[in-house]
Structure 1
Amino acid sequence: MKIIKKIPVKQVLTEKSKERLKRNFQNNKKQLEQECQQLLFEQKKLQNKQGVSKDEVYKRFQSEIQKRKDKMKSIDFHLEQLNILPLGSEITEDEVEALVEVAEGTNWDEIKRDKEIIVQDGIVIQIK
């Protein structure tokens, strides 16, 4: 029998990967800011239509805007943490699924044991 097991992918922090992560965070934040602006525009457009509850439209759009603002706060926190982390630190970047063969007599503790993939600058350097 085969089962699916989740395996974390960890990134070794180097100058190159730190800059790439920083750029990704900043791009994501910029995207969220643009979405907030677009939502505000759409909100104003809808509120000017006849037969539409302005309060209902406001509440719905503000909820979506707030979700994006919360994500931006999270990104700011991650950027702060990224600046604090020393080079060589391992950070969990992703998670992949692997097929694991299980048969009678298989050591279950061995299967349950945490495995991980270590990547440095886009190259797998270790599989634990």
Structure 2
Amino acid sequence: MQIIRTVPVKQILTESSRAQIKEKFDRRCQQLDRECSQLAFEQKKLERKPGVSKQEVERRFSKEISRRKDQLRWLEYQRQQLDILPDESELETDEVQALIEVEEGDDWEQTIQDRQIVVKDGKVIRAR
């Protein structure tokens, strides 16, 4: 029998991986900024429509804009923490699903033990 298990992917921090992660943060920040601008534009457009409650439109849009601004603050915090971490630190960057073979008589503790994949500069160096 096979079971599906979530396995964390950890990345060893090097100068090149640090640059890649920062670039990923920058792209996500730009995307969130664009979404905030688009939401503000859509809000103004809807507020001008007759028969639409301006308070309701503002409430709904401000909630979405606020959520994205919270994500921006969180990304900025993560970027600051990334600058503090020393090289060779392990960062959990992703999760993947893995199929695990389970047979009668297998040691359950060993089957469910903590598994992980460790990546350094784009190459898998350990799969435990």
- What's the TM-score bracket when you normalise by the shorter of the two chains? over 0.9
Q: CA deviation at 1:26?
A: 1.1
Q: CA deviation at 1:27?
A: 1.2
Q: CA deviation at 1:28?
A: 0.5
Q: CA deviation at 1:34?
A: 1.1
TM-score, normalisation: structure 2: 0.98
2:121 counterpart of 1:121: yes
Q: Which amino acid aligns with 1:82?
A: L
2:112 aligned partner: 112
Distance 2:64 2:126 in 1: 41
Distance 2:42 2:113 in 1: 50
Q: Which amino acid aligns with 1:84?
A: I
Runs of 4+ in structure 1 over 4 Å off:
none
1:18 aligned partner: 18
Ranges in structure 1 where 5+ consecutive residues have no aligned partner: none
Q: CA deviation at 1:127?
A: 1.1
Distance 1:99 1:30 in 2: 36
Cα-Cα RMSD = 0.7
2:63 aligned partner: 63
Distance 2:18 2:42 in 1: 36
Q: CA deviation at 1:6?
A: 0.9
Ranges in structure 2 where 5+ consecutive residues have no aligned partner: none
Identity %: 49
